[in-house]
Chain A
Amino acid sequence: MSNFSVAFRNSAGTTILDLHGELDAHTAPDLESAILKSRENGGHNVIINGAHLDYISSAGLGVFMAFVEEFRAEDGDIKFAALQPKVYNVFDLLGFPLIFHITGSEEEALELFNSGVRPL
């Protein structure tokens, strides 16, 4: 029933999570375990690629909030890239662009990591 999946990629010390499908209260634990796994591997730099993320609910957004402080304390961050307009709208309504780096493309997000721009 769940039509959500997470794929891992790695690029120069940054974990890139490709989210597919719909992220809601039921699928949020999948994302949570994916981020936990990335943290176990020492990855505190995470880019969420939302090119294939069709929907996000408040429970899904909560997952990022659960980790971001900890990652930033480790000099890492969670950044978002290539969000679909509808999903970006949800982020925007909530004020996420003020809290997170949200970029149009993955490369821009990587560039932000490389140039060491501090999170907002």
Chain B
Amino acid sequence: MTTLVWPILFGLDPPAFSSSGIGLQITVGACFVLWWFVLARILRRARSGPIQVLWHILLTAVLFMVLLVCVLQIPGAVNEEFQAITATTHLKGGLIALLAASFAFTLLQRLRILVRRRRQSTSRNWPYMLLAMALFSVYFTHLPQEWPEGLLGILLSILVVCLAGAMVVYIAANAFRVSWVAQLRGNQRLLAILIGLGLLAVTVLLPAVSLPNSPFPMIAGVSVSGFSSFLGPYSPSLAVFTGLGVLFGFLYILASVLSLLFNIPGDPDVRLTVDEMGVLDNLNSLMKSAVDVGEVAERVVEQTVEGYLASAAWIVMLNYENEPYRPMIVASQNISIERAAAAFDTAAFFNEVAGAKEVLVVQQVATDYRVRTSLGSDIQSLAVAPLGDGAVVSGALFIVRAEAYGFVKDDIAAIRMLTSYASLALEYARLIESTIERERLARELAIAREVQLRLLPQDLPESEQLSMAASSSPSQEVGGDFYDVLELEDGKVAVIVADVSGKGTSAAFYMAILQGIFRSAARLTPSPRDFLLQANRAISDRLDRKIFVTAVYGLVDQYTGVLHLARSGHCPAIRISASGEPSEWRSSGIGLGLNQGPLFADSLAVVEHQLMPGDVIVLYTDGLIEHRNADGEEYGVERLIGTVTDHRHMEARLLHNVLIKDLARFTGGQPSYSDDLTLVVLTWQHAPRKAVPEASGRP
């Protein structure tokens, strides 16, 4: 057992320290490769801010130095042929190898975080460098003792030169990837420089204590020299790899410290990296050249990826076209919309950031329940940032990275800055879009209003006996109120006042339908009962179930002066006699569209009235009597009747104007109505108009 464990632990063939067989070397190599991955797993969770990484390395280095000095105190030496002199030499060599390898491995794995911080395109340089270093270490320490002649010798020479060359190139490529330096501000920068200098000092000390003929063989009476004389013979390849690792660390930290020293910004408040500044500049110019929301979104995701904030990004915006409003992906970069939508529960993430109004970070997407499985390995971490005007979150920017724990505090700050600019640009574009849309709608509504006003009769029939005045004012641009008058061939006049339930455009459409029905049906079936039955049939098929129409329809025979009038759900017509006697014709009748069965016909009653000279008939819609003043008081049918009675001798047009003025007075001159409002006034004269020249002047 001991003979089995001993070599694996310490890589030694107990009797001969340096002449270990090739099998043993492979076993030792495999053990350390395994140790590399175990360390990688342990360190994966370590914090990844630049300062934390540097600090971690410095602590490891100091710990390593202390432990190394301790181990070097173990008695044991090697002779000139690197052969063990004492038994403890084996233990000492093994421990030194373990320490040195652990330090070099930790150094490399922690630096990897800094090296691979941004540019995704060059991230392969890192594994290639490690591979080149490892291959070189193994190959270099196993060159044949006697260099072969001829072609083989040339090939081997080319190989060693190639390996060395590749390694140097990759070390150089990685050693200068210090873009994280630009993110640090003020004090952080100073701290990083100090830690960097400390690390440089430690790495400079390393070779000093490792060489056999160290310039400081003894410090305070303690031997600190010569650990490489143990490591070398223990595993030559490991020794070379460790050396190369430490060399790379030295170069990288040197490059970092130099760029920190020479890249100190003049203003400590400069909070953005050059890349991010560029992004914001671009967004800023985008805002000035205001385009549509979709294009702005495209540019934002494009800039997010180009600014190295993300490996892929996409934007979701609330879709305001359909209720309930759902977030939809409107633009994406480096990822298809379909894939983004399939892999992430867009709505769940959106709702969370919309509620929190803060950047949401998922450092390991695989563990989040809102991320569906079968994600590619190129998406490991996610940040979701709200977009909106501060009060309302109207969208979100999704940013993904190819590494887990890909977002550090500085990234979040940068994302926050980016999204505040992006929000501004998006809101600006949306504002412009909605202004254009609003103007377009306003124009179209103005046209609709024109059309609707033209649908109303332009000239009312005027005869010796009958005179009329009418008006209709929609509360919005268009409305559902309607009146019309039709002179029939036999001297009869049909008049209708109707009110489509609801207001606005939908009511206006039904009003237009109703007018079509009136214009055609009143000619064919002019009697009130027949007309309303016809109208009910015609309209019922076309109405939405919650829409109905109330109407009052009258037919005046100008020869006989007989008025037939029916009401389907409408406000009763008012009649005031010449003597001032008022009556309301509240005949029974159901609103149009409320019943398609016999009930409508059965309940419909017709009023027959012999018009008397001086009779005033007023037809109106509920908007008139329900019109309120500032105190919430309704105009009311009593006041209407009273006003008509007071001015019953007036000519129809004047009486109509008096009524509208009285309404305005009642409401305190309020210019707009809360409901559509229609008023039709008919007067019946006992004599031809010319015989009563002062008719309009009478009170």
Q: Which residues of A are at the interface with B, using a C-beta cutoff of 8 A? A: 25, 57-59, 61-63, 65-66, 69, 90, 93-96, 98-99, 120
Q: Which residues of B are at the interface with A, using a C-beta cutoff of 8 A? A: 499, 501-503, 544-548, 550, 568-572, 586, 588-591, 594-595, 599, 603, 622, 626, 675
Told that A59-B501, A94-B569 touch, could you supply 18 new A-B pairs with CB distance under 8 A?
A25-B503, A57-B675, A58-B499, A58-B548, A58-B550, A59-B503, A62-B548, A66-B546, A69-B545, A90-B622, A94-B591, A94-B594, A95-B589, A98-B588, A98-B599, A98-B603, A99-B594, A99-B595
B573 → chain A closest CB, angstroms: 12
CA A62 to CA B622, docked complex, whole Å: 16
Q: A25-B502, A62-B502 are in contact. Are A93 and B545 (CB under 8 A)?
A: no
CB-defined contacts of A69 to chain B, threshold 8 Å: 545
**Chain B binding surface, main DSSP class:** loop
| B499:A99 contact, CB within 8 angstroms | no
A46 → chain B closest CB, angstroms: 15
Q: A58-B502, A95-B588, A99-B590 are in contact. Are A66 and B570 (CB under 8 A)?
A: no
Q: A57-B675, A98-B599 are in contact. Are A63 and B569 (CB under 8 A)?
A: no
A112 → chain B closest CB, angstroms: 18
- Can you list 30 A-B contacts with CB-CB less than 8 angstroms, sorted by A residue number? A25-B502, A25-B503, A57-B675, A58-B499, A58-B548, A59-B501, A59-B503, A61-B501, A62-B546, A62-B548, A65-B546, A65-B548, A66-B544, A66-B545, A93-B569, A93-B570, A93-B572, A93-B586, A94-B569, A94-B591, A95-B568, A95-B588, A95-B591, A95-B603, A96-B594, A98-B599, A98-B603, A99-B594, A99-B599, A120-B599
CB-defined contacts of B599 to chain A, threshold 8 Å: 98-99, 120
Q: A93-B569, A95-B589 are in contact. Are A59 and B502 (CB under 8 A)?
A: yes
Determine the residue in chain B with the shortest Cβ distance to A92.
B586
Please list the 5 inter-chain residue pairs (A to B) with the smallest Cβ-Cβ separation, ordered nearest first.
A95-B590, A58-B501, A62-B546, A66-B546, A94-B569
B593 → chain A closest CB, angstroms: 8
CA A99 to CA B570, docked complex, whole Å: 16
A28 → chain B closest CB, angstroms: 8
Determine the residue in chain B with the shortest Cβ distance to A86.
B634
B636 → chain A closest CB, angstroms: 10
CA A120 to CA B591, docked complex, whole Å: 16
CB-defined contacts of A93 to chain B, threshold 8 Å: 550, 569-572, 586
Determine the residue in chain B with the shortest Cβ distance to A62.
B546
| A95:B502 contact, CB within 8 angstroms | no
CB-defined contacts of A99 to chain B, threshold 8 Å: 590, 594-595, 599
CB-defined contacts of B547 to chain A, threshold 8 Å: 62
CB-defined contacts of B570 to chain A, threshold 8 Å: 93
CB-defined contacts of B590 to chain A, threshold 8 Å: 94-95, 98-99
Which residue of A62, A98, A120 is within 8 Å of B501 (Cβ)? A62
